[in-house]
Amino acid sequence: MKKKLIAGNWKMNGSLASNEALVQALVAGAPKADCLMAVCVPAPYLAQVQKLLAGSVIALGAQDVSQHESGAFTGETSVGMLREFGARYCLVGHSERRQYHGETDPVVALKAQRALAGGVTPIVCVGETLAEREAGRTEDVVKRQLAAVIHTNGHCISEIVVAYEPVWAIGTGKTATVEQAQQVHAVLRAQLHAATPHSDRVHILYGGSMNAANAAQLLAQADIDGGLVGGASLKAPDFLSIIAAARY
């Protein structure tokens, strides 16, 4: 059985001082963990956090990557740049990018492809809005989002990480029930299974108000292979409690 993966998404939070305190506390607590760990930090802090994580078991991640290799794309960050700072993971298609930056399924698929080509593991985020759930469209939406990534990436799909993040559960304190989460994870697993003989290798993370109190139950579900943690990843004790809940 593969180890769980717990990844923190700091979003647009942090400062040189607070990052240092947070990462030092995580590094001190990490050796006790029985899972894979990562922190996805704002791009300007990659260099700082790379140094703070040096020699630790916690991997570095970014929150976005350009679909282009290089060139006249003001404000964008290339996968080559992420690699230079030791990034192992990169979020792609987070709902906040889809919502506020107009990222479409094809763009997300190209970003995943660019990350894979550059040696960075894309954490591909999918998830339905509340309106979509209430309209009974949850499965259609997440399958459409993942299908675009499968279509563009072919057999490389076994190298990605998927994160199911119901949009209505992000930052709201409303978590999907374990049944709701497991049901969608099973759908995504079946879709991956149809696309690659190595689907078991793919971590499918749950994200959306995961915290110290609900992590163990969510992580105990058959198809929940880890968590993508927003708010609770900014406080070392909370993030370490989630990590402690992540057993095989």
CA distance 164 to 88: 20
Contact mark string toward ligand 13P, 133..152, x via CB under 6 A: --------------------
Tell me how crowded residue 230 is: count the other CB atoms within 10 A of its CB: 23
Minimum gap (Å) between residue 30 Cβ and ligand 13P: 20
Distance CA 96, CA 89 (A): 18
Q: Does 61 bind ligand 13P (CB under 6 A)?
A: no
Q: Which two tokens stand for residue 246?
A: 């992540």
- 9: which strand partners? 40
CB of residue 152 vs ligand 13P: minimum separation in angstroms? 22
181 makes contact with ligand 13P (CB under 6 A): no
In this structure, the number of other CB atoms found within 10 A of the CB of residue 213 comes to 13
Phi, psi of 23 (to 5 degrees): -70, -35
Q: Which residues contact 243 (CB under 8 A, 6 or more apart)?
A: 6, 29, 30, 33, 35, 37
Specify whether the CB–CB gap between 175 and 214 falls below 8 A.
yes
Query: Whose CA is closest to 93, among 77, 117, 111, 114?
Result: 111
Residue 127 interacts with ligand 13P (CB under 6 A)? Answer: no
Task: Examine the residue annotation and report whether 101 is marked as an active-site residue of this protein.
Answer: no
Which of 109, 210, 240, 243 is in the footprint of ligand 13P by CB under 6 A? 210
Per CB under 6 A, which of residues 65..124 are in contact with ligand 13P?
94
Q: Tell me the closest approach of the beta carbon of residue 194 to ligand 13P, in angstroms.
A: 26
Position among 29, 209, 225, 245 found at the interface with ligand 13P (CB under 6 A): 209
The residues, any chain, with a CB within 8 Å of residue 87's CB and separated by 6 or more, are 46, 60, 61, 62, 120
Of 14, 73, 6, give the one whose Cα is nearest residue 33: 6
**Candidate residues 14, 61, 208, 226; the one interacting with ligand 13P per rule CB under 6 A:** 208
Token reading at 178 = 């374990």
- Of these residues, 96, 103, 132, 165, which one is catalytic? 165
Whose Cβ is closer to ligand 13P: residue 165's or residue 195's?
A: 165
The answer to whether residue 155 is catalytic is: no
Site size toward ligand 13P (CB under 6 A) is 14
Under the binding rule (CB under 6 A), the answer on residue 14 touching ligand 13P is no
- Judged by CB under 6 A, the chain residues 214 through 243 that form the site for ligand 13P are 228-232
With CB under 6 A as the contact rule, the residue among 44, 119, 171, 237 that binds ligand 13P is 171
Q: What sign for the dihedral angle of Cα 202, 50, 233, 130? A: negative
Smallest separation (angstroms) from ligand 13P to the CB of 9: 4
Nearer to ligand 13P, 118 or 226 (CB): 226
Residue numbers at the binding site for ligand 13P (CB under 6 A): 9, 94, 165, 170-171, 207-210, 228-232
- Point out the residues that are catalytic: 94, 165
